[in-house]
Structure 1
Amino acid sequence: MHFFSSNFKLGILGGGQLGKMLLYETRKWDVYTKVMDASPEAPCKIACNEFVEGSLMDFDAVYNFGKDVDVLTIEIENVNLDAMEKLEQEGKIVYPPTKALRIIQNKANQKLFYTDNQIPTAPFSRFAYTSEIEDSLSNGGLQLPFVWKSAQFGYDGQGVKVVRTKEDLKDLPNVECIAEQMVDFKNELAVIVARSPNGETKTYPVVEMEFHPEANQVEYVICPGRIEDSVAKKAIEVALKVSKNLQHVGLLAVELFQTQDDQILVNEVAPRPHNSGHYSIEASYTNQFEQHIRAILGLPLGKTESKVAGVMVNLVGKEGYTGDVVYENIDTILDMEGVTPHIYGKKQTRPFRKMGHVTIVDEDMTRARQMAQKVKETINVISK
């Protein structure tokens, strides 16, 4: 199949910032793209060849969209899998496969998958409704504190809450969920695995993630992670085991805990380009977005090593500001060496909404991390 400057059409479900960054690569290679998103102002709209406004959870919208493309991929997991499965049955190429997506889309199914495949993960309990948790606590089946996670539709820290008292349960939605034992960890890590249809697999270096304490969002991604080589090796082995058992195609971001005794536990996975790989645009030989395109098209996978140390800083809406976005002091950070901002194209900001990211590259990791702190303290995402 000819992909470049041809009649080939790549379909992408989801038009957010991840899709926009995928389109950097398809435009570089002149791969024709068609994107669907529910928002008429989706960031992808300006960069794709065709844009369709439609709900990603609507069967007919997804099915009709998919019929018109040669290969269908995603930039978000929350899509109608029944429609995608029907397209697969009719011979359409869908990556990642719906079999993998059915496991990943539901966090309870994800956890059962880890248990069934002897993949280390934190102990958990599954509940059909959040309201069942109080009975389990009363009967001794569950102990405080724990981490509550909605089984579906959680993202960017939404659908996750640390429950320390029964009072913390009051405002949670009454949905299918899991209660996960809290992990006493040293570090939160991530490994991105790229896998082609023929089984060719490559991993990116292990990154270290620092989270915002309130928003439960990644604030900094540090590559390479400041961990022992033996820990990094173990993290990559676990990530490869997850990839092999899922049989995904494309990228798989595997989020991990490094415990106090240096065990590695899987937290959760994402079957697409991921926040933990944004540093790769400036720091890697092959960035994660190009790699995803290579993988789903069955092209040779690119070199995953880093050219230089990289730190990624998320730009999120500042608390107390909602409305037309203003990037305060962006000219100041542009005057700093090794600093590259990426603005996602969302016109409206609100507290903790992901609006962009900044990558800092340097030969020295310590300097890069210090500069990242300076960037974080300088730029403000506010409203007019």
Structure 2
Amino acid sequence: MDRFSLPIARIGIIGGGQLGRMMAKAAKRIGCTCVVLDPQPGSPAAQIAGQQIVGHYHDPAKLRELADACDVLTFDIEDIGTETLVELEQEGHAIYPAPGVLALIQDKLTQKQALEAAGIPTAPFVPMPEPTPEAFAAFGYPLVQKARRGGYDGRGVSIIKRPEDFDRHLPVPSLVERFVPARKEVAVLVARGRDGDCRCYPPVEMCFRAGENVLDMLLAPAAIDDSEAEAARALAVRTVEALGGVGVFGVEMFLAEDGSLLVNEVAPRTHNSGHHTIEACVTDQFEQHLRAVVGLPLGSTDQLVPAAMINLLGAPGYRGRPVIRGMAEALAIPGVCVHLYGKATTSPFRKMGHVTVLDTDIEQAREKALRVRELIEITGEEQA
């Protein structure tokens, strides 16, 4: 019979943002404690965890202080000093996902090369150490340029459809890949335990703002047929197994017009495409991630009810202390679940929270989510 002393585990979270905040909430449910490393005092995750080391993710001394205070380390961001994490792992500290996996995925080029080497289908690509009009023309338009490092939430990506658009290129070491005219963009969350057990959540559909690379709305489950959903789940598992990941991974894919699937990118952490799992699934992605990194059995990924999810972004033109309008009216709509991230200041398009809408009819959930998006506005006490 299993016997545990409380806390079940002391978990160190590198990064104190909204993902760490929701992870800390899940940790409390399963009897774990958390210590957060973040440069911002009173970070969103630390508000829940209650313990924070104030310091940067690249500070070797602070990373070591966190490792010494905890049983296992994980992270809610990717921009971390992996050299120190590799040293800590070699000294016997448990770190999941492994520093080597994180280092590989941090670089979009080495990530793509690893997927290609493993036989995972992706859009054709070439390295682009120095972007030039001639190099782009040789590859062919339309194309997508991705910065090798530092890109997320639409940053570090430029879609260039013709030579006249070259002035929109990113003047950094990058890669270029073929533009895929996808029928849908889908994501699959995969949880992989320390024992190699894998569990998949149902694929979700990601709807992006026209002309931008920022997620506008998520629909779960995706409106694809059963064979496409099963193929997406199988491809996501193959991808995470090829990387040797432990924890929750977000695998973003293109579903082409012919029904084929191409992996776009992999996130080695809990993911924006899985926020709906808090209310809609038996085991949410944050508890699932902690189960995986601590070594507990993975939970059921069954989805209990359809859901739509929107991000709450800071309104353009405002900064400073957040001012929220329309929340009471939104909460009066049946099935609406509001999550605010506890960020002390807002700025244009900063992620300040999200809303999940549950309904037995996915189309009704979508329509309610659109109403909520019109109702809730997050401004600030200062003009930007």
* Bin of the TM-score, shorter chain as denominator length: over 0.9
Aligned twin of 1:352: 349
Deviation track 1:246-303 (CA, whole Å, cap 9, x = no partner) reads: 1110001100000011110001011111000000011101111010111111111111
Aligned twin of 1:367: 364
Which whole-Å CA distance do the structure 2 matches of 1:47 and 1:5 have between them?
18
Which whole-Å CA distance do the structure 1 matches of 2:270 and 2:231 have between them?
22
Q: In the alignment, does 2:123 pair up with 1:126?
A: no
5 Å matches for 1:166-315? 166=163, 168-170=165-167, 172-315=169-312
User: Structure 2: which 5+ residue stretches go unaligned?
Assistant: none
Q: In the alignment, does 2:330 pair up with 1:333?
A: yes
Which whole-Å CA distance do the structure 1 matches of 2:359 and 2:365 have between them?
5
Q: Judging changes above 3 Å, is the alpha-carbon distance between structure 1 residues 3 and 378 closer, same or farther for their aligned structure 2 residues?
A: farther
Which whole-Å CA distance do the structure 2 matches of 1:52 and 1:2 have between them?
30
Aligned twin of 1:135: 134
Aligned twin of 1:88: 89
Q: Judging changes above 3 Å, is the alpha-carbon distance between structure 1 residues 350 and 49 closer, same or farther for their aligned structure 2 residues?
A: closer
Matched position secondary structure for 2:202: coil
Aligned twin of 1:113: 114
Which whole-Å CA distance do the structure 2 matches of 1:294 and 1:244 have between them?
18
Tell me, yes or no, if the aligned pair for 1:215 and 1:352 is still in contact at 8 Å. no
Matched position secondary structure for 1:313: strand
Tell me, yes or no, if the aligned pair for 2:27 and 2:34 is still in contact at 8 Å. yes
Q: Pick from 367, 371, 377 the counterpart of residue 374 of structure 2.
A: 377
Which whole-Å CA distance do the structure 1 matches of 2:63 and 2:154 have between them?
26
Q: In the alignment, does 2:15 pair up with 1:14?
A: yes
Aligned length in residues = 380
Tell me, yes or no, if the aligned pair for 2:25 and 2:49 is still in contact at 8 Å. no
Deviation track 1:68-122 (CA, whole Å, cap 9, x = no partner) reads: 3210111111111111100110011110011211221110111111111110101
- Percent identity (aligned): 39
Tell me, yes or no, if the aligned pair for 1:187 and 1:259 is still in contact at 8 Å. yes
Report deviation, 1:321: 2.6
Which whole-Å CA distance do the structure 2 matches of 1:303 and 1:10 have between them?
22
Tell me, yes or no, if the aligned pair for 2:160 and 2:169 is still in contact at 8 Å. no
Q: Which amino acid aligns with 1:46?
A: Q
Tell me, yes or no, if the aligned pair for 1:148 and 1:161 is still in contact at 8 Å. yes
Greater shift in the superposed pair: 337-346 or 349-358: 349-358
Deviation track 1:130-169 (CA, whole Å, cap 9, x = no partner) reads: xx332313xx422122111111111111111112345544
Tell me, yes or no, if the aligned pair for 2:145 and 2:170 is still in contact at 8 Å. no
Tell me, yes or no, if the aligned pair for 1:127 and 1:178 is still in contact at 8 Å. yes
Tell me, yes or no, if the aligned pair for 1:36 and 1:54 is still in contact at 8 Å. yes
Aligned twin of 2:143: 146
Tell me, yes or no, if the aligned pair for 1:4 and 1:29 is still in contact at 8 Å. no
Tell me, yes or no, if the aligned pair for 1:209 and 1:218 is still in contact at 8 Å. yes
Q: Which amino acid aligns with 2:327?
A: I
Report deviation, 1:4: 5.5
Q: Judging changes above 3 Å, is the alpha-carbon distance between structure 1 residues 371 and 42 closer, same or farther for their aligned structure 2 residues?
A: same
Tell me, yes or no, if the aligned pair for 1:66 and 1:84 is still in contact at 8 Å. no
Q: Judging changes above 3 Å, is the alpha-carbon distance between structure 1 residues 59 and 375 closer, same or farther for their aligned structure 2 residues?
A: same
Matched position secondary structure for 1:356: strand
Matched position secondary structure for 2:378: strand
Q: Which amino acid aligns with 1:229?
A: D
Greater shift in the superposed pair: 189-198 or 207-216: 207-216
Matched position secondary structure for 2:187: strand
Matched position secondary structure for 2:176: strand
Aligned twin of 1:44: 45
Tell me, yes or no, if the aligned pair for 1:67 and 1:87 is still in contact at 8 Å. no
Which whole-Å CA distance do the structure 1 matches of 2:69 and 2:8 have between them?
12
TM-score computed with the length of structure 2 as normaliser:
0.95
Q: Judging changes above 3 Å, is the alpha-carbon distance between structure 1 residues 280 and 242 closer, same or farther for their aligned structure 2 residues?
A: same
Matched position secondary structure for 2:318: coil
5 Å matches for 1:42-81? 42-81=43-82
Matched position secondary structure for 1:253: strand
Which whole-Å CA distance do the structure 1 matches of 2:320 and 2:223 have between them?
38
Deviation track 1:191-238 (CA, whole Å, cap 9, x = no partner) reads: 000011111110000101111224411111111111111111111111
Deviation track 1:31-59 (CA, whole Å, cap 9, x = no partner) reads: 12111012124211211142011111223
Which whole-Å CA distance do the structure 2 matches of 1:301 and 1:7 have between them?
15
Which whole-Å CA distance do the structure 2 matches of 1:316 and 1:90 have between them?
41
Which whole-Å CA distance do the structure 2 matches of 1:336 and 1:271 have between them?
34
Which whole-Å CA distance do the structure 1 matches of 2:3 and 2:128 have between them?
48
Deviation track 1:312-356 (CA, whole Å, cap 9, x = no partner) reads: 111112223333221211111011000010001112222221110
Tell me, yes or no, if the aligned pair for 2:158 and 2:170 is still in contact at 8 Å. no
User: Structure 1: which 5+ residue stretches go unaligned?
Assistant: none
Q: Judging changes above 3 Å, is the alpha-carbon distance between structure 1 residues 2 and 122 closer, same or farther for their aligned structure 2 residues?
A: farther
Q: Judging changes above 3 Å, is the alpha-carbon distance between structure 1 residues 191 and 3 closer, same or farther for their aligned structure 2 residues?
A: farther
Tell me, yes or no, if the aligned pair for 2:96 and 2:293 is still in contact at 8 Å. yes
